[in-house]
A and B are shown apart, each in its own frame.
Chain A
């Protein structure tokens, strides 16, 4: 008996298969149950009666290569099982889209041509996630897109302006320090009220490097911060930036204590505070002990920050040149990075 006859006579006995033809003209047999998951295939079978034999195989759209079909069928095979929990399905989906970007695009195309909406949604979301947070250059790279825009590109009014690499470096360093310190404190089980993070501004670091205030300023300012924090414990929060430098330092300490749990905000706000500090004067308080923090750790941190500051410092002469290009000789300039006003002595 021919295959068709068998399928018609004993449908319950045989697991029905359909014949599908992919873009490379090869034909394969697929369980009907699974293939029906795709609306297009479903349509072809029910409305046009196609697919029951090799001769009348369903011609799939040209976006569906054998590889893509296999992926899609895997997806269908998993999801058409009714007993799976949402968690399972979600987890499968997440792993499913962890393929290289080119295949992801191909998959999206293929799924779309088969009208398999859930898969299209899944892959679109994955692609959107890839796009997010990347620069145009990176996106062009990943998706192999041509760089065919002209100076039009320069019109970018909606861009968020934290693009200064210095700020990003600083933020990253702060985040790293914070993490390190958290670890060590947890291990040692020392009772420190708040995290000791080196929140010195770039100004402070620079003057440290230049030896402006004579003694290692690092020690002093950190001490001062700690002292101020303890002093101003009761002070309730006014996060106003308009107060004097002195007040600002004290409020800073307090503010930072408040926000110590929010990693992001610390780097942002602490930088904000310090940017407005301008030339900071250390208060010489001898006899203040650096209690609670391991001095070796403190030195290590200071050294790291010093290195970082030196790295930053090498940039400045270049920038100064840029800004002095029109012939101004004065060293005191008002210029800003990332929207903050800073003063340099």
Chain B
């Protein structure tokens, strides 16, 4: 498979829809490179939202078509406002479909709280350490809850239409 020329890779990837293409990016370095190709994503964009939309949202400067697609897809899913959302197990602050900030992840919850402990260790006593830990934890929980709530209501709205 490694020995296949670039054009063949492109041919195969052209046949994939956006979700499978997104998976393909996680396979290996080469696949990530090929699957991020502008041509593929601009095709998918045009197929999904039409040529006019594509002309309007065409990426400028260093932005890639892949990024533009991702942003548009997110707007479709959750709207254009300022929101905290969850994708997979990661939480993000998004605005107009673009990720503004990474807020944390359920998976790494343990690690995150451990880190914050470390930094405070030498300066505060035990009690404030515990406080730091628990306040960090609560903050995460609040963010995560908001993210989950957002996703749930988006799902509910979508299902209602069906």
Contact = CB atoms under 8 A, between A and B. Distances in A.
Contact of B12 (A109, A127, A136, A159): A127
Given A128-B16, A159-B23, A239-B162, A149 B28 contact: yes
A323 to B, nearest CB: 8
Interface in A103-136: 105, 108-109, 112, 120-121, 124-125, 127-128, 131-136
B82 interface: no
Nearest to B107: A154
B22 interface: yes
A156 interface: yes
Nearest to A148: B29
A131 B16 contact: yes
Interface stretch (A215-223, A295-303, A305-313, A331-339): A331-339
Given A156-B88, A272-B159, A339-B155, A131 B1 contact: no
A228 to B, nearest CB: 20
B11 A139 contact: no
Given A131-B12, A341-B149, A241 B27 contact: no
B18 interface: yes
B124 interface: no
A314 interface: no
A80 interface: no
Interface residues of A, number: 56
Given A112-B5, A269-B159, A335 B28 contact: no
Contacts of B160: 239-242
Interface in B1-45: 1-5, 7-8, 11-13, 15-16, 18-20, 22-24, 26-32
A251 B4 CA distance: 54
B66 to A, nearest CB: 9
B22 A112 contact: no
Contacts of A108: 4, 8
B26 A149 contact: yes
Contacts of B90: 154
B110 interface: yes
Contact of B159 (A112, A239, A322): A239
A343 B154 CA distance: 18
Nearest to A136: B26
Nearest to B13: A128
A109 B8 contact: yes
B53 interface: no
Contacts of A276: 156
Give the bracket for the number of chain B residues in contact with chain A.
35 or more
A67 to B, nearest CB: 16
Interface in B84-126: 86-88, 90, 99, 109-110, 113
A134 B156 CA distance: 28
B31 A145 contact: yes
Given A136-B26, A335-B148, A124 B15 contact: yes
A37 B35 CA distance: 32
A144 interface: yes
Contact of A156 (B2, B22, B29): B22
Nearest to A144: B1
A157 interface: yes
Interface in A239-285: 239-242, 265, 269, 272, 276
Contacts of B87: 156-157, 159, 161
Nearest to B157: A241
Interface of B: 1-5, 7-8, 11-13, 15-16, 18-20, 22-24, 26-32, 70, 73-74, 86-88, 90, 99, 109-110, 113, 133-134, 137-138, 141, 145, 148-149, 151-152, 154-156, 159-160, 162
Interface of A: 63, 101-102, 105, 108-109, 112, 120-121, 124-125, 127-128, 131-136, 139-140, 143-149, 152-154, 156-161, 163, 239-242, 265, 269, 272, 276, 322, 325-327, 334-336, 339-341
Closest 7 CB pairs of A and B: A326-B137, A128-B15, A158-B22, A143-B1, A136-B26, A339-B151, A145-B28
5 contacts: A112-B5, A154-B90, A272-B155, A327-B137, A334-B145
